[in-house]
Structure 1
């Protein structure tokens, strides 16, 4: 068997320790060799259950360019993504960047160019493509359960009235709720429906002490064609939603779909459940299929499989499968995120300005 890929993880905050470290240490063919963190004791304690003992270094740049490292995973604050990814690619490393990819589409396109120049894999950790709720909805739409679609809504709402002392909620580049949760919502919508023609948005601050946006409603507009009905896709995120709201709703000419509760993999990881546990990713909340008459049909969702992302990264580096999240897809997503910001600032519907490669990257959709 081939030797495992040596991995360096940059950043051991919430995202690095909760998501990346457990998946990296439980995916066959990957070996976590280096972690960049200012708290070696935290790293040691967190990785003890996985029997992983990486070298801990204080310098992110040292981790990004370390000799003997094949894959660099960047889970540091958003404003450091570009510089660290650039350094790693130029040092000959394959690179995974946590979402959001970069601060803007210009940085994203430059990283894509550098990766191509050095013939290195570059990908973005869009783990929620493998959430149970999304997988259930996607399968139902692919099976055409509710006929031609006219309206789709995707929400990630939370109730956090107190502003936390963390960089994501401070007035820093790449902070705010839209750059935190927007990449998940928008990536899933692009996977389902491809790029919209226009985008409109309201992105604002709702909590009195908030320094950055903490409420967002972004609408993707898809016009009617000779073969499709007009479709409106609403992406919503809030930090002041105490009442439960559905994770997904979809309405078509033959019925509706409702998924009330979100995938539970994050909650399991936070509770210390290993991705190798037989119950990991199991979702007991059914997808409800409403038709014109009768009670809704309950459809069991598939198991969530976020760990599959790193298995596919491993195999993509070996040339066995395609990159699960390509630079073109990641760049198109950045264009959508910044277009929504511009639409919110201007109060206008704005077109999505993608190049041909970025638009073609979403050819396999249910629309």
Structure 2
């Protein structure tokens, strides 16, 4: 039986990262979407019901709610959905504090509902390639892992909620480093400590728009960076080990294909990276291009279906969700104190 699903909003996240995949997945039914003013969803999905509020969404005949609203609203909307008996997928970052995360996880477990964070970057082709190379042992013992999101957006758009803190954490650390931290945790597990420095680099910026985080693991140095004034990009990933290195430039092509090329995702391989963008693997066997694996965010919803219908393990575990929040909390504390924060 298909899982009837509702979206809490139809902004960028709903239009690009959720609705296309839910609509294309054979085991889900896109049923209702909250649209408070502009009614855009029905133009693309005429069969859905457009509702005017989140409360109205919760009254619909749906099993799963996707909370894809501004970060500061996640806690309240997730709680309301769980209390209404709905499974929940929430956009990253999960919530704004570890305490809020623990409360929601406890509520979901008490009610026997699924609650997980949309960490779609686990299904980026470049990250899948990194994971395969690391797990294959081709690089030997990993000694250094660098990961970064690099953007050049010097202009501040005042109308965007991500540029207006209003007491909430809405900067690049929460918005992008939540992905970077989650990928590191997926590879190496929970770190022992966190050191971070954050900055507001753009003229007139009110948020942290630069973030550098080091995660402390025995024997491996993990560095994560995100910035908004990086016009000439460095590697997206750089992994070094006792037997070689893997370096990869550029971003996974799925987001660009969905946003700018009118691509429609499928359950199979739908978005491969061109050969000229493949990363370089350099080991004792030589230096060569390493074919980037095909990513597909559809795998997240495959896992969500298995979790709800087949009682499989959550797509992103509660432990990983809490670890991500603990790292983000620690990054702000480390920046404030200048010290390593032990987890």
Report the TM range for the smaller structure's normalisation. over 0.9
Residue 117 (str. 1) matches residue 110 (str. 2) = yes
Partner of 1:244: 233
Q: Secondary structure at the match of 1:120?
A: coil
Partner of 1:253: 242
Q: How far 1:42 sits from its partner (Å)?
A: 1.6
Distance 1:222 1:325 in 2: 21
Q: 1:208 aligns with which of 203, 206, 213?
A: 203
After superposition, the C-alpha distances for 1:258-315 in whole angstroms (9 at most, x for unaligned) are: 0112111000110220002976321122221113685x22111111111110121112
Q: Root-mean-square deviation (CA), in Å?
A: 1.5
Pairing of 1:1-367 with structure 2 (within 5 A)? 2=1, 4-45=2-43, 47-48=44-45, 52-63=46-57, 65-164=58-157, 165-172=159-166, 173-223=168-218, 230-271=219-260, 272-276=262-266, 280-284=270-274, 285-291=277-283, 294=286, 296-352=287-343
- Which SS does the other structure have where 2:94 is aligned? coil
Please give the secondary structure, in 1, of the residue aligned with 2:40: helix
Note if contact 1:132-1:281 (Cα within 8 Å) is conserved in structure 2.
no
Please give the TM-score of this superposition, normalised by the length of structure 1.
Answer: 0.89
SS in 2 for 1:41: coil
More displaced stretch, 72-81 vs 270-279: 270-279
Q: Aligned pair in 2 of structure 1 residues 71, 277: CA closer, same or farther (>3 Å)?
A: closer
Does the C-alpha gap of structure 1 residues 337 and 210 become closer, same or farther in structure 2, counting only changes over 3 Å?
same
Deviates most, 314-323 or 91-100: 314-323
Offset of residue 134 of structure 1: 0.1
Secondary structure, aligned partner of 2:147: strand
Structure 1 residue ranges without an equivalent (≥5) = 224-229, 353-367
Contact in 2 for aligned 1:201/1:217 (Cα 8 Å):
yes
Q: TM-score, normalised by structure 2?
A: 0.95
Q: In the alignment, what sits opposite 1:360? A: none
Instruction: Could you tell me which runs of 5 or more consecutive residues in structure 2 were left unpaired when the two chains were aligned.
Output: none
Q: Distance in 2 between matches of 1:304 and 1:202?
A: 31
Decide whether the 8 Å contact of 2:32 with 2:60 is kept in 1: no
